[in-house]
Amino acid sequence: MRIRDKLESYSAVDKVLEDYLATLPQEDAERRADTKSVFKGLKEKVLRDEVLERGQRLDGRAFDEIRNITCDVGLLPRAHGSAVFTRGETQALVTSTLGTADDQQKIELVDGETYRRFMLHYNFPPFSVGEVKFLRGPGRREIGHGNLAERSLLPVVPGEDTFPYTIRVVSDILESNGSSSMASVCGGTLALMDAGVPLKAPVAGVAMGLILDETTGRHAVLSDIAGAEDHYGDMDFKVAGTADGITALQMDIKVGGITADIMQQALEQAKAGRLHILERMRATLQDPRTNISSHAPRIVTIQIPVDKIRDVIGPGGKTIRSIIERTGVKIDVEDDGRVNVASSDDASAQKAISIIEELTATPELNKSYLGTVQRITDFGAFVEVLPGVDGLLHVSEIAHYRVKEVRDELQEGEKVLVKVINVDPSGKIRLSRKALLDRPAGGDQNAGNRRDRQPVKS
């Protein structure tokens, strides 16, 4: 049992049992079954006695010692982020994928609908523990471990207002000898940082164990427990967190309870182990990458006035569908006026943003626009200066000379350069064309109103 390699140790222990069973008659099924039961109890006694009586673990580690750790990132170039985290004989291959708001998971509840923008899926294939089984859907164990790892990372995931991506993390366990869920937390942190997710802080996790003699009260708290210590021990206490605090806890115990002193000791050892693991992780990747993967969608967020949302969406979604078809981007409009534009290339995103900005722009006073004459009346013309925004070009503002017929100067559909000269509180816009024209020699032939003119003295 002191052999460090898991499979070698299991094989050596099983051989001891097989050699003894070979000495028993094959037809004595009851004795053979009793032998197996006693042998199982003997293995448990050996492990517990080694810890409590001799003060040592089967693999030779100190009670607070963490197994050897190796980390690597960026192994899968097509993945948006990837990492392999190995601790002892537990290894997790973790990938992270970035998506748009359309990729959020919709959850229907009794009281309404909700959406998840951060998801972590945990896979524990049979080959990770040397078994051959059918690969089926996730079971209770996989779902529970995935939820624990997800809750461990969720507090450090940036908000949607600063990082408008949907994030999916997948942890595939390649080998397991204890604490694969905490390996998923560590690997998940590295995969997210490799993807360029600006985490608030890196997270690491460690599983704490306990060997307790309930009769005498003697106990030993073990850091980073292996599979046998989990199986034959009295506690599996998973602690995940950053250098500054804890993000998630989960405890399974096989005894009636633990004292406050044991709990305090377990948390203190867990913190020391967590800091050690974080140090090894930082040696591999110090900070999140400054740029996201070239294979990930680019999301650009702009803010528009809330009352302009309808202009972007259009009747029945006609306008927004038109923008998507013309540019090939994905557009998500929030109720607070945030617009997320997602595209695989920057040019398409900028084209869509330009269209949205034109749709939501407000004419500025004293600014010039190249507008289109929409309608002509006796008193002037209505000119569209921005998409869906008209202003009045009064007949007196068309030219420096008197204009008798507006149609002599302008035609419907004609492009005309105008200047915004007034925007009243109700939003009505007045335009001027003559303000942009050179004044002819001799001054304005139609300057002033008739009633303001003074009679010419002879």
Residue 1 lies in a domain: no
The answer on 437 and 304 residing in a single domain is no
Which one is predicted more confidently, 1 or 353? 353
Tokens, residue 121: 């899926």
Is pLDDT at 40 greater than 90 in this prediction? no
pLDDT digits (tens, 9 = 90+) for 55-76: 888 888 999 999 999 999 999 9
Give 446's pLDDT tier (boundaries 50, 70, 90): low
Q: Could you tell me if 150 and 172 lie in one domain?
A: yes
Q: What percent of the chain has pLDDT over 70?
A: 94
Report the 3 state secondary structure along 184-207: HHHHHHHHHHHCCCCCCCCCEEEE
How much of the chain exceeds pLDDT 90, in percent? 61
Q: Which of 252, 284, 316 is the last residue of a domain?
A: 284
Q: What is the pLDDT of residue 362?
A: 80
Question: In a 3-state reduction of DSSP, which class is residue 397?
Answer: helix
Same domain, 202 and 320: no
Give the predicted TM-score (pTM) of the model. Answer: 0.78
What's the chain's average pLDDT? 89
SS (H, E, C) 277-323: HHHHHHHHCCCCCCCCCCCCCEEEEEECCHHHHHHHHCHHHHHHHHH
| Distance in angstroms (rounded) separating the CA atoms of residues 294 and 291 | 9
Across the range 130-142, mean pLDDT stands at 88
pLDDT for 259 beyond 80? yes
Beta bridge partners of 375: 382
* Residue 320: predicted pLDDT: 93
Per the CB < 8 A criterion, the answer to whether 152 and 179 are in contact is no
Q: What is the pLDDT of residue 329?
A: 92
pLDDT tier, 452 (very low <50, low <70, confident <90, very high otherwise): very low
Look at residue 289 and tell me if it is in a domain.
no
User: If you average pLDDT over residues 335-357, what whole number do you get?
Assistant: 91
Query: Region 270-285: what's the mean pLDDT?
Result: 97
Looking at the predicted structure, is the pLDDT value of residue 458 above 70?
no
Residue 455 is assigned to a structural domain of this protein: no
Helix-helix angle 6-21:29-52, to 10 degrees: 140
Between CA 262 and CA 256 the distance in angstroms is 13
State the CATH number of the domain containing residue 209: 3.30.230.70
Residues 232 and 269 in one domain: yes
Q: Does residue 458 sit within a domain?
A: no
Q: At what angle do helices 180-194 and 260-284 cross, to 10 degrees?
A: 40
Cα 233 from Cα 255, distance rounded (Å): 10
Within-domain flag for 59: no
CATH of the domain at 411: 2.40.50.140
Indicate whether 158 and 198 sit together in one domain: yes
**Whether the predicted pLDDT of 387 surpasses 90:** no
291 within domain boundaries = no
Give the model confidence (pLDDT) of 207-226 as tens digits.
999 999 988 989 999 999 99
Rounded Cα–Cα distance for residues 390 and 176 (Å): 68
Domain identity same for 179 and 279: yes
Q: Do 141 and 21 sit in the same domain of this protein?
A: no
Count of domains in the chain?
4
Using CA atoms, how far apart are residues 314 and 309, in angstroms rounded to an integer?
8
Q: Residue 450 pLDDT more than 80? A: no
User: Do 99 and 125 fall within a single domain?
Assistant: yes
Residue 385: pLDDT above 80?
yes
Distance separating alpha carbons of residues 296 and 396, to the nearest angstrom:
56
57 located within any domain:
no
Asked whether residue 193 carries a pLDDT value surpassing 90, the answer given is yes
Is there a single domain that holds both residue 100 and residue 226? yes
* Residue 457: pLDDT band with limits 50, 70, 90: very low
At which residue do the structure tokens 């927004």 appear? 320
Whether residue 351 is found in the same domain as residue 251: no
Query: Residue 17 domain-assigned?
Result: yes
SS percent in the chain: helix, strand, coil, step 5: 35, 30, 35
What is the arrangement of strands in the sheet containing 338-343, beginning at the earlier edge strand?
Answer: 298-303, 338-343, 330-333
Summarised one tens digit per residue, pLDDT across range 301-320 is: 999 999 889 989 989 999 99
Helix (H) or strand (E) holding 458: none
Whole domain around residue 326: which residue ranges? 298-360
CATH of the domain at 327: 3.30.1370.10
Which one of 236, 261, 284 terminates a domain? 284
- 123 shares a domain with 94: yes
Residues 228 and 248 occupy one common structural domain? yes
Are 66 and 224 in contact by the 8 Å Cβ rule? The answer is yes
